[in-house]
Amino acid sequence: MGLRLNAHAKINLTLDVLGRRPDGYHEVEMIMQSIGLHDTLELEYKPKEIVLTVSGVPVTAGQDNLVLKAARLLQQQAGPEAGAIIHLHKEIPVAAGLAGGSSDAAAALRGLNRLWNLRLREEQLMKLAARLGADVSFCLLGGTAIARGVGEILTPLPPASRFGVVLVKPAFGVSTAEVYRGLDLAKLGRRPDTSAMTGALQKGDLDLVAANLCNVLESVTLRLHPELQAIKERLQEAGCRGVLMSGSGPTIFGLTADEKTAGEIARRLNLPGCQVLATGMV
Ligand code: ATP
């Protein structure tokens, strides 16, 4: 019997950079939120071999694919007999700040743990996730959470209200490494207030959530791609209550009261060259 799993994208409601570690990674503090937009993984048992096929948004099916990296890492625990045919259907835009690859890797860990009957506990899966990438740990947990360290130290938060989300992904991608290189830690400008955002989410107060949206990477990516400013303004004019860039970008999201309103705004927006999607928080 095969397995089918959804791998959800995320947005950052806040993103703060606290410092740079000697190993070059940045210490962050961010509030992450899973959204309805998702890729799909289908897994079927096959002895010894791991085979990956991909459809939808183009992405490599080679060794660089994070799904294969996750599968190989777990295979070290399962032994060489364990194998799988994995089909990845991609809906999440690539290199967009939506953690698509990380979410696929998390779903592969979770799914293959079941397919191979390994019974690894949550904390064991979390350790493997942290080895695969900074956002994989959050993607394994999902929902709403504060992420610290390089993103792997998680504090789950109560589920947030199911606000709507309009996503605008321009035609270009952004390299996370390049954005961090452009960041001057001495000049971060406005910083997020994590406890204020946590309180706003607990109250389910959309205007308070909107007022606390803050990402210190936004000004760096906006400097590299000034056209993102116009997208932010268009989302605001179209009726989104709060607008922010997700992760290192370039995806800009707008929040609405519910998914239906997000859908209406997405249909009205005319942004040539951009992909416009409506979804909701999950
Ligand atoms: P984050 O928000 O975690 O920084 P992102 O949304 O900016 O992630 P991804 O879509 O995860 O970025 O892709 C980043 C890189 O990872 C791309 O260059 C892509 O080629 C590579 N990659 C490897 N596996 C995958 C996958 N399964 N899906 C998407 N990208 C993948």
**What is the CATH architecture assignment of 3-156?**
2-Layer Sandwich (3.30)
The average confidence (pLDDT) of the chain is: 97
106 and 139 in contact (C-beta within 8 Å)? yes
**pLDDT at residue 1 tops 80:** no
Q: Give domain limits for the chain.
A: 3-156, 164-280
128 confidence band (pLDDT: 50, 70, 90): very high
Q: For residues 249 and 231, what is the distance between their CA atoms, to the nearest angstrom?
A: 12
In angstroms, the Cα distances linking 72 to 11, 68, 77, 87 are 28, 6, 9, 15
78 confidence band (pLDDT: 50, 70, 90): very high
Using the atom order of ligand 1, give the atom closest to the CA of residue 173.
7
Give the pLDDT score at 71: 98
Pocket lined around ligand 1, Cβ cut-off 6 Å: 59-60, 64-67, 94-102, 104, 135, 176, 247-248
Q: For residues 122 and 165, what is the distance between their CA atoms, to the nearest angstrom?
A: 29
Q: Which residues are known catalytic residues?
A: 10, 135
Distance 7 CA to ligand 1 centre (A): 13
State which of 32, 52, 94, 140 you would mutate to test the pocket of ligand 1, scoring each by most atoms of that ligand within 8 A of its C-beta: 94
Using the atom order of ligand 1, give the atom closest to the CA of residue 10.
2
Mean pLDDT within 66-75:
98
Residue 43: what are its φ and ψ, rounded to 5°? -125, 135
Give, using CA atoms, the residue closest to atom 10 of ligand 1: 94
The answer to whether ipTM exceeds 0.85 is yes
Give, using CA atoms, the residue closest to atom 4 of ligand 1: 97
Annotated binding-site ranges for ATP: 93-103
Using the atom order of ligand 1, give the atom closest to the CA of residue 134.
3
Give the pLDDT score at 243: 98
Using the atom order of ligand 1, give the atom closest to the CA of residue 9.
6
Residue 243: what are its φ and ψ, rounded to 5°? -135, 135
Give, using CA atoms, the residue closest to atom 30 of ligand 1: 101
22 confidence band (pLDDT: 50, 70, 90): very high
114 confidence band (pLDDT: 50, 70, 90): very high
Distance 208 CA to ligand 1 centre (A): 31
Give the pLDDT score at 240: 98
Q: For residues 274 and 129, what is the distance between their CA atoms, to the nearest angstrom?
A: 32
Give the pLDDT score at 102: 98
Q: For residues 246 and 141, what is the distance between their CA atoms, to the nearest angstrom?
A: 18
45 and 98 in contact (C-beta within 8 Å)? no
Residue 185: CB partners within 8 Å, gap ≥ 6?
A: 17, 19, 20
Read off the pLDDT of residues 186-205 as tens digits, 9 standing for 90 and up.
999 999 999 999 999 999 99
Distance 93 CA to ligand 1 centre (A): 9
Annotated binding-site ranges: 93-103
| Assigned token pair, 208 | 């308070």
Give the pLDDT score at 69: 98
Give the pLDDT score at 17: 98
Confidence (pTM): 0.96
Mean pLDDT within 105-116:
98
Give, using CA atoms, the residue closest to atom 14 of ligand 1: 95
Distance 219 CA to ligand 1 centre (A): 22
Q: CATH homologous superfamily of domain 164-280?
A: GHMP kinase, C-terminal domain (3.30.70.890)
Give the pLDDT score at 72: 97
